[in-house]
């Protein structure tokens, strides 16, 4: 089925938060309690936080839609000072979530390609991300997309400290050709 990628705007905030909440419950319910997920979503996906992200020149939020329906989204952070985990040559994939019904259909790969395109435009050399260590499906997915585990970083999940894996993937067009 045809899927289209486009930048998010203010009208997308409510459906985006709903998709994030449902996907968090589906993905993390085994490892985290629902109350903590709700606390995290209320803070990190508040109208104010998402509006600020949409207005921030260092942040890109892209949506993927199938048949006009929101199927997932991608949030990219270009500013290395924000987390101190990723260097100035790395574009961070800060969020990548697909609705459960849209998983397993190749849309994640489409969004990784969109991230790589954005990274090239910004003159970055690689993509980087953090992933919950127990999220085996996502880790396998990122490995299939050319990412490797490179270390760990601290992630504050509504007051619960997680030590997530960091993963990186070079941008192929930056492979150096000897003169
Ligand atoms: C991780 C994610 C971005 C991958 O994108 P995707 O487009 O689903 O990737 P793929 O098409 O390669 O499929 C991923 C997995 O779903 C499985 N899958 C296949 N059909 C499926 C279906 N109908 N429904 C659900 N999963 C299905 C695939 O077999 C694969 O699992 P495997 O690694 O065990 O083989 C996406 O699945 C997702 O958003 N998951 C939930 C949120 C999440 O974990 N985000 C990453 C946070 S760091």
Judge whether 179 lies within some domain.
Answer: no
Judge whether 98 lies within some domain.
Answer: yes
Question: What pLDDT is attached to residue 175?
Answer: 45
How far apart (Å, rounded) are the C-alpha atoms in residues 37 and 178? 49
- 165 C-alpha to center of ligand 1: Å? 18
Q: In CATH, what number is assigned to the domain containing residue 96? A: 3.40.630.30
Judge whether 70 lies within some domain.
Answer: yes
Question: What pLDDT is attached to residue 30?
Answer: 81
> At a CB cut-off of 8 Å and minimum separation 6, what does 169 contact?
126, 127, 128, 142, 145, 146, 147, 148
Question: What pLDDT is attached to residue 178?
Answer: 52
Reported as a single tens digit per residue, the pLDDT across 50-70 is 999 999 999 999 999 999 999
Total number of domains constituting the chain: 1
User: What residue owns the CA closest to ligand 1's atom 27?
Assistant: 104
Judge whether 170 lies within some domain.
Answer: yes
- 59 C-alpha to center of ligand 1: Å? 24
Residue numbers in the chain where pLDDT is lower than 50: 174-176
Ligand 1: atom nearest CA of 103 is 8
Q: Which residues line ligand 1 (CB under 6 A)?
A: 23, 27, 96-98, 103-108, 131, 135, 137-138, 140-141
- Rg for the chain (alpha carbons), in Å? 16
Q: Which structure tokens are listed for 14? A: 């409510």
Domain limits at 166? 3-174
b vs e for 127-138, b when ≥16 Cβ sit within 10 Å of the residue's Cβ?
bbbbbbeebeeb
DSSP-derived pairing of the beta strands 126-131 and 3-7: unpaired
Question: What pLDDT is attached to residue 4?
Answer: 97
- 25 C-alpha to center of ligand 1: Å? 15
> At a CB cut-off of 8 Å and minimum separation 6, what does 121 contact?
none
How far apart (Å, rounded) are the C-alpha atoms in residues 104 and 135? 15
How far apart (Å, rounded) are the C-alpha atoms in residues 7 and 95? 14
Question: What pLDDT is attached to residue 143?
Answer: 97
Question: What pLDDT is attached to residue 114?
Answer: 97
């Amino acid at each position: 089925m045809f899927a289209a990628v486009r930048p998010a705007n203010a009208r997308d905030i409510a459906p985006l938060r709903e998709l994030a909440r449902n996907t968090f419950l589906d993905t993390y319910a085994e490892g985290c309690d629902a109350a903590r997920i709700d606390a995290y979503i209320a803070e990190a996906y508040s109208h104010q936080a998402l509006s600020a992200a949409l207005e921030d020149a260092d942040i890109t939020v892209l949506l993927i839609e199938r048949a006009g329906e929101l199927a997932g989204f991608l949030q990219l952070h270009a500013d290395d000072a924000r987390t101190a985990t990723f260097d100035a040559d790395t574009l961070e994939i800060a969020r990548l979530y697909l609705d459960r019904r849209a998983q397993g259909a190749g849309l994640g790969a489409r969004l990784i390609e969109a991230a790589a395109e954005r990274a090239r435009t910004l003159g970055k050399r690689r993509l980087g991300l953090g992933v919950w260590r127990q999220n085996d499906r996502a880790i396998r997915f990122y490995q299939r997309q050319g990412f490797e585990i490179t270390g760990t970083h601290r992630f504050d999940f509504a007051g619960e400290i997680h030590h997530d894996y960091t993963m990186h993937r070079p941008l192929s067009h930056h492979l150096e050709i000897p003169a």
